[in-house]
């Protein structure tokens, strides 16, 4: 029996097959395995069984799950690699990397950074060859991230570094097995200390924030749900039981609703309001230090709160008084349309306001915005999507600063996609129902973008754009 066999026998046959396929992809190509490639190879399982199996592997810390423009991807963790049939090969390489760190720390206690070339030369002396591939570079950062504070690579370079390691712990980590046990102790210690400081409402707030981020990203999708084992909740630093407590509290408060037997839930309109509207979350999920119960919006509905957008429009410039007047009058029309239940009109007006505020800001330096459209005329021939992309470009302001954040861009695209539903053929093709709930959701997305523009004005980003 191999030295890591115990990690493999803990899995059932189907789980081992999945881990092996992800490991083979990594060893052969040095990258992640696309879900569209993995799922068809999970023979003998229906869709629900495949989902459950993958969620179990993610929840148990053997796989990482991520999404991109072309779909979703699966990657090995250290535990997953040691549960695969390639465990010994993988561990030999990590052992060599650990040896490299030990020798350097012995010679240079303040050693904090190395270049890829010197690591390759040093490790090859120990008989472990490293290739110039992302795969082998990721192996080195697994060691640093698991052993040292802040370990990792510097984007776009061949340089790797870390914060100060615990030298006593380092002395006890001589091989991959020790590293795994050390990492498990550290993670458990951090999570337990973190959760001990949290109330049930604090658990729920952390979970709700992730729901809201997903809501913004997936606003163009009508039906979506997520369960407590989803790896997006790893950012909360909650354990599995902490996530479940957060889910239960949110269900009790009617902020989310369970829609699947596996525990997956969808975000309800009240849950969106709790994050998007100032003060409401403090009433629904009070924690020590938050405002007292009842100090929120006094029960106003989303329609009644449309006027609060006007308080965030202070960034509108004086250079185009007519456009400013149009935006403000359109805001009044939007409030009336929502109150009358005119859903399509509400979405159209929200899109018009979004386009107006973006033009107001970007047209202050037409010479900087125009080149993004190439041969088209700015702003006359700029689409709403064009305006959003221009506002999100770091080239517009310089210094990696942007007028709009990625979250605001996602919100704007969501509103743009729904505004296009005013065309009957588009609504029929996409099979989307336009109702008051959808209209209210689009107003929330508009609020996100307007709030981002107000923040850019307060932080001097818009002024830097004007003076560039």
> Which of 21, 51, 82 marks a domain boundary?
82
pLDDT at 299: 36
Residue 196 predicted with pLDDT over 70: no
Q: Answer yes or no: do 18 and 47 share one domain.
A: yes
CATH number at residue 19: 1.10.10.10
Residue 38 predicted with pLDDT over 80: yes
Name residues whose C-beta falls within 8 Å of residue 62's C-beta, 6 or more positions apart in sequence.
11, 15, 19, 76, 77, 79, 80, 83
Confidence of residue 295 (pLDDT cuts 50, 70, 90): very low
Q: Answer yes or no: do 141 and 217 share one domain.
A: no
End-to-end CA distance of the chain: 66
Average pLDDT of span 42-46: 91
Q: Answer yes or no: do 404 and 260 share one domain.
A: no
pLDDT at 175: 62
Q: Answer yes or no: do 314 and 446 share one domain.
A: yes
Greatest Cα pair distance in the chain:
79
Higher pLDDT, 93 or 39: 39
Residue 388 lies in a domain: yes
Q: Answer yes or no: do 417 and 315 share one domain.
A: yes
Residue 11 lies in a domain: yes
> Which of 221, 252, 284 marks a domain boundary?
284
Residue 296 lies in a domain: no
pLDDT at 172: 57
> Which of 284, 318, 347 marks a domain boundary?
284
Task: Give the number of residues written for the chain.
Answer: 468
DSSP letter, residue 127 = T
Residue 19 predicted with pLDDT over 90: yes
**Each residue's pLDDT tens digit, 329-356:** 888 888 778 777 788 888 888 888 999 9
Candidate from 6-20, 277-291, 454-468 with smallest mean pLDDT: 277-291
Q: Answer yes or no: do 310 and 457 share one domain.
A: yes
Residue 149 predicted with pLDDT over 50: no
Beta bridge partners of 257: 266
Higher pLDDT, 33 or 89: 33
Residue 302 predicted with pLDDT over 50: no
Range of the domain at 94: 87-194
| Arithmetic mean of pLDDT over the chain | 75
Q: Among the residues of 160-239, which ranges form H helices? A: 167-171, 176-196, 200-217
The total of other beta-carbon atoms located within 10 Å of residue 279's CB is 15
Higher pLDDT, 463 or 426: 463
Residue 225 predicted with pLDDT over 80: yes
Residue 351 lies in a domain: yes
Residue 291 lies in a domain: no
Q: Dihedral sign, CA of 76, 79, 83, 84?
A: positive
Residue 69 predicted with pLDDT over 80: no
Q: Can you give the pTM of this predicted structure?
A: 0.42
Confidence of residue 292 (pLDDT cuts 50, 70, 90): very low
**Each residue's pLDDT tens digit, 70-99:** 678 888 777 788 888 888 877 777 777 677
Q: What is the tally of structural domains in the chain?
A: 4
């Amino acid at each position: 029996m191999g030295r890591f066999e115990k990690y493999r026998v803990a899995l059932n046959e189907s789980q081992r097959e999945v881990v092996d396929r992800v490991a083979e992809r990594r060893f052969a190509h040095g990258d992640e395995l696309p879900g569209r490639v993995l799922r068809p190879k999970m023979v003998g399982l229906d869709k629900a069984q495949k989902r459950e199996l993958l969620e179990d592997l993610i929840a148990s810390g053997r796989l990482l799950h991520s999404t991109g423009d072309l779909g979703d991807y699966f990657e090995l963790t250290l535990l997953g690699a040691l549960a695969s049939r390639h465990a010994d090969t993988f561990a030999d390489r990590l052992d060599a990397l650990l040896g490299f760190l030990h020798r350097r720390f012995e010679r240079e206690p303040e050693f904090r950074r190395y270049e890829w070339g010197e690591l390759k030369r040093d490790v090859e002396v120990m008989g472990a060859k490293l290739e110039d591939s992302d795969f082998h570079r990721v192996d080195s950062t697994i060691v640093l991230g698991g052993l040292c504070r802040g370990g990792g690579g510097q984007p776009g370079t061949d340089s790797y570094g870390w914060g100060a390691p615990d030298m006593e712990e380092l002395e006890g980590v001589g091989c991959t097995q020790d590293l795994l046990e050390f990492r498990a102790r550290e993670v458990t210690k951090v999570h337990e200390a973190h959760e001990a400081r949290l109330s049930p409402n604090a658990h729920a707030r952390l979970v709700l924030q992730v729901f809201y981020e997903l809501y913004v990203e997936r606003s163009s999708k009508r039906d979506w749900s997520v369960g407590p084992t989803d790896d997006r909740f790893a950012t909360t630093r909650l354990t599995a039981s902490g996530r479940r407590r957060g889910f239960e509290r949110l269900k009790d408060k009617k902020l989310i609703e369970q829609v699947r037997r596996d525990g997956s839930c969808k975000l309800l309109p009240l849950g969106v309001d709790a994050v998007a509207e100032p003060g409401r979350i403090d009433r629904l999920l009070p924690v020590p230090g938050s405002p007292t119960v009842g100090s929120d919006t006094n029960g106003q509905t989303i329609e009644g709160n449309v006027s609060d957008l006007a308080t965030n429009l202070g960034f509108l410039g004086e250079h185009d008084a007519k456009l400013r007047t149009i935006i403000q009058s359109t805001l009044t029309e939007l409030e009336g349309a929502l109150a009358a239940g005119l859903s399509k009109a509400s979405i159209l007006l929200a899109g018009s306001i979004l386009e107006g505020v973006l033009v107001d800001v970007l047209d202050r330096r037409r010479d900087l915005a125009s080149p993004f459209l190439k041969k088209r005329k700015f702003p006359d021939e700029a689409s709403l999507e064009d305006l959003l992309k221009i506002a999100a470009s770091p080239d517009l302001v310089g210094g990696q600063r942007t007028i709009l954040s990625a979250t605001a861009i996602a919100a704007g695209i969501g509103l743009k996609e729904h505004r296009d539903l005013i065309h009957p053929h588009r609504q029929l093709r996409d099979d989307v129902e336009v109702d008051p709930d959808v209209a209210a959701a689009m107003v929330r997305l508009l609020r996100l973008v307007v709030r981002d523009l107000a923040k850019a004005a307060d932080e001097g980003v818009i002024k830097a754009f004007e003076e560039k």
